[in-house]
Amino acid sequence: MFLYLTLGTNDLAAAKRFYDAVMPTLGHGLRAEYPDEVGYGPPAPARITLWITHPYDKRPATVGNGSMPALVAPSRAAVDAFHAAGLAAGGTDEGAPGLRPHGPHFYACYLRDPDGNKLSAVCEAPDGLAPPGGSA
């Protein structure tokens, strides 16, 4: 459904430190770096799926109240690692890893990045592991 997601930042260096720490826990890495934006995604040749950028209109980035990208995690351990890495890299806790009432296997955590964007990492696999080569 989505081609990619873009999140705004007012401090690209701080945002890059945060996303450099959390994205590898989900199997994604830094794939592009420009003066005003960085892009993360699965290994090439797959598309870059998350861009962190200064707003194009040059106005300050703001947080969307009620907006929250939920990122697929390959395992419950990856959700745990995403949360821990995010906290260590300047994020703030919005909900520790654990099962949620959104389904029998909905294991998620919630964080805010240094700009205040809310993120979630989710694993829905019944055994806590995503199937090989795909997402749960």
Checking if the pLDDT of 90 tops 80, the result is: yes
Q: Is 101 helix (H, G, I), strand (E, B) or coil?
A: coil
At residue 135 the predicted structure's pLDDT band, cuts being 50, 70 and 90, is very low
Kindly list the domain boundaries of the chain, sorted by start residue.
5-55+64-123
Tell which wins on pLDDT, 127 or 113: 113
CA-CA-CA-CA torsion sign (105, 106, 109, 113): positive
Report the CATH number of the 5-55+64-123 domain: 3.10.180.10
Q: Name the pTM for this structure.
A: 0.90
* Residue 115 near residue 109, CB atoms below 8 Å: no
- Which of the 8 DSSP states describes residue 49? -
120: left (phi over 0), alpha (psi -120 to 50) or beta: beta
Buried b (16+ CB within 10 A) or exposed e, 91-106: beeeeebeeeeeeebe
Whether 86 shows a pLDDT value over 90: the answer reads: yes
CB 43 within 8 A of CB 29: yes
